[in-house]
Structure 1
């Protein structure tokens, strides 16, 4: 095991012109290494080492593997991919042998790696802003990336907000030699679906795999560490398992609730904390704190980020950092490997409708169109269900994230629409869905979620907030060994009928309190829907920002449509708080990082 602080930073300038540019920049904090052909700036936990003529640069928090092994392999003429594939944990690594620069993201790209190519040079950085400051970055916004953002609330790799800057996808290697780039994927989740049979035996095996993963990710006793605790099954199980591993140690846990009732799971978090004997801390996020934090989020994230749960995530990390905590453990990924997402069960219902005879579906479609479109939310939901259930996957799955596609003509100006095709985001999702090598449709959806909802959204959210607080985060349920094991389980062990996490709940029946096993999935959503509807101050932030002179001059969106969204949200016709928040964060980020001062 090798641990450094993965919330540090790394900037690599390859090629004589790039190396000279970096050498001329004020050094500030951190360390400079390299020569006239490649220079690097390392800060925080980033480290440099030389092994057999190979310079290795990276950030590492490894549960299994040693940073020295990859450069040693390269120096011996072996492919370092063989080393990276077997690593467990988080890393961003670069190797330079004097001719070739090889850069690797970890299995889920939990530490982003951005790169910019120009004739004779390559820049690589863990922070996008480091590339924005270079003379080779035109700082031009990519409309297609903006369009993806409006659909997904994030910008999926390899795209970035800036033309000419790319982001390395999960489990990928970039090689740069003689001015040419080659990228390959070295790892993807696989679904062999060959583990079936006696359920009691399989439940015991899964329990052993989960315990092994969680216990392996336990930080050293000398570290100040704790656990996220939302009250959900994943964070609760991680906390309780770690507490049982060392009953003599009270594990700190951190939970965030909201002033509005019904938006958090603090009651369940208290049940889990009591079951674990945790040293539990609880905090609250309200509207005023969110108003103050909304503009600051632009500084936490390399790119526009529209997931509102970034606010309570940051608040939770701030609470932990105030206690001196330097490492947190999170339950991210559990839904996507055990079968816990609500939409997996919902998709089963939609799939049943999709398989109906064509005349019945035609009748259902006519009814759906007839009842939707007004201001009665229930009727709108019926129409929405019928429309979505009439599609195959992944198109059906995409309808959870298709705001800009759904309102393409009403939202986008003709000039913007000419640069982003209506189906561009859907096609990006189809491409990822096609990568998933699985027989069961559920597993293809779970693969899609791991590559999108986890790698492009959840991990971006947590890493950005954690980096702002100087805290590292570990994700035991994204351990490649555990992901591979669960990929072998048949789909029926994940979702049986409409019962989610079927085998997981059996496996951890003696770990999770009954109240947590039986509760409905809640999520970690900020009550922005209530604030936009009821608080004039919150609406003013949205309207003032989105109708500002700068926002209008961009010429991207139709302002009258955005005003209509807010009116309909206030009237209760539909919940448009998520797209309105995403539009707000997009504009605040552009004002902060792209617009001239």
Structure 2
């Protein structure tokens, strides 16, 4: 429904730049719609599109600009130019005045590209939270960029060779994290990052970093009112069309957005919820509590096992890279239901946990970090020599637990966050073929985590984990999930809780206000007491979890699809057949939910490969 692409070739004129540019557009959107705006040169082309009017192109002299999204500026002059002419015209003006530095003045959710054919240079960038994606490649003197890897590899000079390292990274993270992509020579921008192509070389850097407060006075009262004001402002900005609705899982974030949306519209908001006929997975009652509390107009849909069978191939085809987050299925059906009811834009609650401290690992890691508050002499000279040197510890339950605690605490962050990763639960030689392992570096996932964990200036471990999650949990995972599934369903999506003012406000809260002791989202919940239902404030986090593992045991068509996918995956040379056999047996033996996760991840890898007509490594 919206996106951009572009390219610049060698210094010689190319016969049909329009044809090449249009082929990139079609590979991403399926057709050349009326909403597509395009600019062509002697050896370049670029295009942007949005059915909600959020794309603009502008050309002046040798400069071409395309911008997609909601852009606003610190400068009133640029805001005025954007309104009177176009957002792309404002970008062209700002770039001509200050070159790359203009990005610091550009705000909102957006992706932007500036091409100067005469100077042989291109600048591309995405917003601070990574709401809009951009990927790029430089091959055979052609620089190509697009909001989807599909668009990049559609260029005739760009290779679509699968990267074995990306396959390994996918199986570790259940998605392919940036800056890599599933293709060997295609790369993705990180949140707040730009890429500058000039004279045949690419330079990348960050134009923005989120500043965290690692300490400070825990003043709540005035901050409560500030949060409420920011929420109202953010939801109003997110309502870009009168036909707006909201996802409603019944959790803190979706309930907040639904409640503020109802207040903003001065009428019952259209809310959409998903349920499952499976014990431990259905949260519909919490969604109903929120709907009754705020007086929304609720729409419910119960996803069935057959729905999952029908959706899997479609979802695999929709993603431009393998994507293993199973909650994509309920997200799609929720957005689809909204589309059927005439909704054109959906408001999603994603981001609250990652800026206000709502993920369980934040509290869990505080417990492990507390170990280092003990005197070093006690740790090094007493506890650890006894725990790791005294025989028979494993036979004394309390001491066995203490040893396990110390063992985990000694693993530094962020590595400790992946202690229970599937790829750490067995030897890699037991999971992967030797031929595949020869092509990958098994340390890359940990290195990616460490790089992002260390990129922030924050010193408090809670803040550093929040910073890490802005990339890995949000930009690389949740936003990809919701963006793609809304696109597949045919609706736009907005993220009020990721409004820059809210994100910066949350970053300046002291860590103790985010996670107070072991209480998650302490400030947020305190601030919204009296607004949110009591049941919402006290419920445990779940979201749109999918009972795939359970249903796979009881619904033969779903089991067949999974088994057929794993059978095909065996032939690709990634995974040892005996590992797949063991996974299936463990799933059958009663650990359906746990082992169903890895079966889903492997199945979606094979489904993606099949629907993108790629070959094994």
Residues 363 and 515, structure 2, Cα contact 8 Å, conserved in 1: yes
The Cα shift of 1:336 comes to 0.7
Structure 2 match to 1:376: none
Deviations along 1:525-552, one digit per CA (max 9) or x if unpaired, are 101121234444333222221112xx23
Residues 368 and 386, structure 1, Cα contact 8 Å, conserved in 2: no
Specify which of 217, 230, 239 is matched with residue 249 of structure 2. 230
Specify which of 57, 66, 73 is matched with residue 66 of structure 2. 57
Matched, 1:267 2:288: no
Structure 1 match to 2:507: 487
Structure 2 match to 1:447: 467
Specify which of 205, 214, 217 is matched with residue 193 of structure 1. 214
Deviations along 1:490-517, one digit per CA (max 9) or x if unpaired, are 1000001111111111111121111111
The Cα shift of 1:44 comes to 4.0
Residues 534 and 570, structure 1, Cα contact 8 Å, conserved in 2: no
Structure 1 match to 2:3: 9
The Cα shift of 1:409 comes to 1.8
Residues 609 and 615, structure 2, Cα contact 8 Å, conserved in 1: no
Q: Distance in 2 between matches of 1:399 and 1:21?
A: 53
Q: Distance in 1 between matches of 2:159 and 2:153?
A: 8
Q: Distance in 1 between matches of 2:276 and 2:591?
A: 24
Deviations along 1:53-76, one digit per CA (max 9) or x if unpaired, are 53211211346654232211123x
Where in structure 2 are the equivalents of 1:133-144 lying within 5 Å?
A: 133-144=154-165
Residues 136 and 186, structure 2, Cα contact 8 Å, conserved in 1: yes
Q: Distance in 1 between matches of 2:313 and 2:208?
A: 37
Residues 134 and 145, structure 2, Cα contact 8 Å, conserved in 1: yes
Q: Distance in 1 between matches of 2:615 and 2:366?
A: 49
Specify which of 167, 181, 194 is matched with residue 173 of structure 1. 194
Deviations along 1:378-411, one digit per CA (max 9) or x if unpaired, are xx99998775444221111122545367542211
Q: Secondary structure at the match of 2:7?
A: strand
Structure 1 match to 2:614: 595
Structure 2 match to 1:23: 18
Tell me whether 317-326 or 343-352 shows the greater mean CA deviation. Answer: 343-352
Question: Structure 1: which 5+ residue stretches go unaligned?
Answer: 1-6, 372-379
Where in structure 2 are the equivalents of 1:368-447 lying within 5 Å?
A: 388-401=408-421, 403=423, 406-447=426-467
Q: Distance in 2 between matches of 1:331 and 1:188?
A: 23
Structure 2 match to 1:375: none
Structure 2 match to 1:250: 268
Matched, 1:152 2:147: no
Deviations along 1:408-447, one digit per CA (max 9) or x if unpaired, are 2211111111222222211110111010211211000010
Residues 57 and 67, structure 2, Cα contact 8 Å, conserved in 1: yes
The Cα shift of 1:484 comes to 1.3
Aligned Cα RMSD in Å? Answer: 2.8
Structure 1 match to 2:46: 40
Q: Secondary structure at the match of 1:149?
A: helix
Q: 1:161 to 1:228 in 2, by over 3 A?
A: same
Q: Secondary structure at the match of 2:136?
A: strand
Q: Secondary structure at the match of 1:499?
A: coil
Q: Secondary structure at the match of 1:255?
A: strand
Tell me whether 293-302 or 43-52 shows the greater mean CA deviation. Answer: 43-52
Q: 1:43 to 1:206 in 2, by over 3 A?
A: closer
The Cα shift of 1:596 comes to 6.4
Q: 1:312 to 1:405 in 2, by over 3 A?
A: same
Q: TM-score, normalised by structure 1?
A: 0.90
Q: Distance in 2 between matches of 1:381 and 1:537?
A: 42
Tell me whether 185-194 or 159-168 shows the greater mean CA deviation. Answer: 185-194
Structure 2 match to 1:106: 127
Count of residue correspondences: 577
Q: Secondary structure at the match of 2:45?
A: strand
The Cα shift of 1:50 comes to 2.7
Q: 1:230 to 1:555 in 2, by over 3 A?
A: same
Structure 2 match to 1:299: 317
Question: Structure 2: which 5+ residue stretches go unaligned?
Answer: 24-30, 74-78
Moved over 6 A (4+): 362-369, 380-386
Q: Distance in 2 between matches of 1:310 and 1:251?
A: 23
Q: 1:350 to 1:132 in 2, by over 3 A?
A: same
Structure 2 match to 1:567: 585
The Cα shift of 1:354 comes to 6.5
Q: 1:131 to 1:216 in 2, by over 3 A?
A: closer
Q: 1:135 to 1:198 in 2, by over 3 A?
A: closer
Structure 2 match to 1:544: 564
Residues 18 and 121, structure 1, Cα contact 8 Å, conserved in 2: no
